[in-house]
Structure 1
Amino acid sequence: MPSSKLSVSSVNGNICAPENLQDVSQIAYAYNWLHDAPYLDLKTSLLPLAGYERLQQCRTPSTDGGDEPTDVNGFDIFPVRAGLPWPTGFPKARQSRHWEAGLRISSELLELFSTDSSMFTAVKLNGRSLAKIASHELLLPEEDRFTKFATYLFPEADKERTRLLAATIVFIVIFDDSWEMHSEDKLGVVRDDFLRRLESNGEKEKSKSELQSLIGYVVDGLKSHDKIAGNGGQEVIDRLADFCRHVPPQSNFASLADYLSYRNIDAGVPYILACVKFSLESDVVIEDPKMARILRLVSDHVSLVNDLASFDKELKALEDGKVCYMINAVDVVRRLLGLASYSAAKAVTYSVQLEVEAQMEEELERLAKGRILSPKEEQFVSAALTMTAGNLFYSVVTSRYGGEAAKIDV
Structure 2
Amino acid sequence: MGKPWILPSILKSITGTPPPCTEGNREEPTSPLIRPIHYAFDPVPSDHDIPTSSDFFPQLRECLQHPPHDECAYIQPTDLHVPWPTSFPAAVQCKHWQEVEQSARELLDEIVSEIQKEAQSRSQSQDKSGGRLLSTQLGASPDALPQKKLHEVLETAVTGTIYMFPAANVARARIMAKAILLIFLHDDVVEAHDGSDAGETFLDLLLQSDRLPQTPPPEGDTEPGLPWRQRILREFVNEVLTEDPISGLELLQGLKIWSQHTRSHILKDQDQMANYTNLQDYVEYRMDDLAADFDHAAIHFTTNVHPTATEIAGLSTIRRLYLIHASLTNDLYSYAKELHDLQTRGCTMINSVRVLQNNMMVGDDTAKGILRRILLDVERQLHAEQQRLRMNATTTETQNIIAQAVVQSLAGNLFYSATTYRYARVVEGAKLE
Q: So what's the TM-score if we normalise by structure 2? A: 0.76
**Aligned residue among 321, 324, 343 for 1:300:** 324
Q: Deviations over 1:156-178 (max 9, x none)?
A: 11111111111000110111265
Alignment of 1:52-71 (within 5 A): 52-54=57-59, 70-71=68-69
- 1:166-181 correspondence runs (5 A): 166-176=177-187, 178=190
> Is residue 174 of structure 2 the alignment partner of residue 163 of structure 1?
yes
Letter of the 1:387 partner, please give it: S
Give the aligned partner of residue 340 of structure 2: 316
Equivalent residue runs for 1:178-189 within 5 Å? 178=190, 187-188=199-200
User: Which amino acid is the alignment partner of residue 138 of structure 1?
Assistant: L
Partner of 1:28: 38
In the alignment, what sits opposite 1:262?
285
Give the aligned partner of residue 370 of structure 1: 392
Q: Post-superposition shift, 1:253?
A: 1.8
Matches within 5 A, 1:64-213: 70-117=68-115, 127=137, 136-140=148-152, 144-176=155-187, 178=190, 187-188=199-200, 192-196=204-208, 199-201=211-213, 208-213=226-231
How far apart are residue 333 of structure 1 and its match?
1.1
In the alignment, is the contact (CA less than 8 A) between 2:206 and 2:256 conserved in 1?
no
Distance 1:258 1:244, change over 3 A: same
Conserved in 1, the CA contact under 8 Å of 2:390 and 2:400?
Answer: no
1:398 shift after superposition: 1.8
| Structure 2 gap ranges (5+) | 1-23, 120-126
Task: Give the C-alpha shift of residue 152 in structure 1.
Answer: 1.1
Pick one of 394, 398, 411 that aligns with 1:389.
Answer: 411
Deviations 1:208-248 (A, max 9, x none): 34553332222112111225xxx211111000010110031
- Equivalent position of 1:361 in the other structure: 383
Contact 1:74–1:94 (CA<8 Å) still a contact in 2? yes
> Of 309, 330, 333, which aligns to 2:356?
333
Aligned partners of 1:200 and 1:365: how far apart in 2? 38
1:277 deviates by 0.8
Secondary structure of 1:95's aligned partner? strand
Deviation at 1:306, TM superposition (A): 0.5
Contact 1:73–1:158 (8 Å) recurs in 2:
yes
Corresponding residue for 1:62?
none
Q: Residues 40 and 82 of structure 2 are in contact (CA less than 8 Å); yes or no, is this contact kept in structure 1?
A: yes
Alignment partners' CA distance in 2, 1:276 and 1:134:
32
Distance in 1 between residues matched to 2:284 and 2:185, nearest whole Å: 24
In the TM superposition, residue 344 of structure 1 has moved relative to its aligned partner by 0.8
Whether the 8 Å CA contact 1:109–1:211 is kept in 2: the answer is no
Paired with 1:93 and 1:388, the residues of 2 have a C-alpha distance of 9
Aligned length: 371
Cα drift, residue 206 of structure 1: 6.3
The alignment partner of 1:408 has SS state of coil
CA contact (8 A) 2:29 2:36 kept: no
Corresponding position of 1:220:
238
Q: 1:257 to 1:372 in 2, by over 3 A?
A: farther
- Measured after TM superposition, the shift of residue 196 of structure 1 is 4.4
- Work out which of the residue numbers 44, 47, 50 in structure 1 matches 2:53: 47
One-letter amino acid of the structure 1 residue matched with residue 292 of structure 2: V
Are 2:74 and 2:90, in contact at CA under 8 Å, matched by a contact in 1? yes
What is the deviation of 1:188? 4.1
Q: In 2, Cα distance between the equivalents of 1:56 and 1:113?
A: 41
Deviation per CA, 1:31-63, whole angstroms, max 9, x where unpaired? 1211xx322334xx112363x3237759xxxxx
Question: Is the 8 Å Cα contact of residues 56 and 382 (structure 1) preserved in structure 2?
Answer: no
CA contact (8 A) 2:237 2:252 kept: yes
Coordinate RMSD, CA, aligned: 3.4
Letter in 1 for 2:254: R
2: distance between equivalents of 1:87 and 1:316? Answer: 24
> Is the 2:353–2:364 Cα contact (8 Å) retained in structure 1?
yes
- 2:137 partner SS: coil
Q: Could you say what secondary structure the match of 1:26 adopts? A: coil
How far the C-alpha of 1:134 sits from its partner, in A, is 7.2
Residue aligned with 1:94, SS: strand
Percent of pairs identical after alignment?
27
SS in 2 for 1:23: coil
Q: 1:186 to 1:54 in 2, by over 3 A?
A: closer
Kept in 2: contact 1:301–1:353 (CA 8 A): yes
